[in-house]
Amino acid sequence: MDKKQLGTWGEGKAVGYLKAGGYHVLERNFRCRWGEIDIIALRDKVLCFIEVKTRTSLEYGLPCQAVGPGKQDHIRRAALAYVHRNPDCAAYDFRMDVIELLRLPRGDYIRHVTGAF
């Protein structure tokens, strides 16, 4: 499985996880000039901007550790662009989350880090 396939697999798993947890997925792969947001979802009047990170080993640390300050800034700017384009969203609280997935030989692992940054 190449990196693109792994990323697509991870995002699909993340969407299933969110839906099972009562989230309503509003958009996937929202793109604007400031960057991309993997998943935008709503639950309990909280609009969640979610970055999905998938890896096949811990060689470089946990997947969520790959969301550094630069990536966080791009996600924040893209989130503001999304809210600007969708004024109804201004009524909700906002949160930035990370869903990390590990695809390991002994089984898959998923963790939802809420309010990650």
Furthest C-alpha separation in the chain: 45
**Residue 100: what are its φ and ψ, rounded to 5°?**
-110, 140
Residue with tokens 């609009």: 47
Q: What is the pLDDT of residue 28?
A: 97
Question: Which CATH number is 3-113 given?
Answer: 3.40.1350.10
Domain ranges of the chain: 3-113
Assessment of whether the complete model's pTM goes beyond 0.85: yes
**Tens of pLDDT, residues 78-104:** 999 999 999 999 899 999 999 999 998
Structure token pair of residue 112: 């939802």
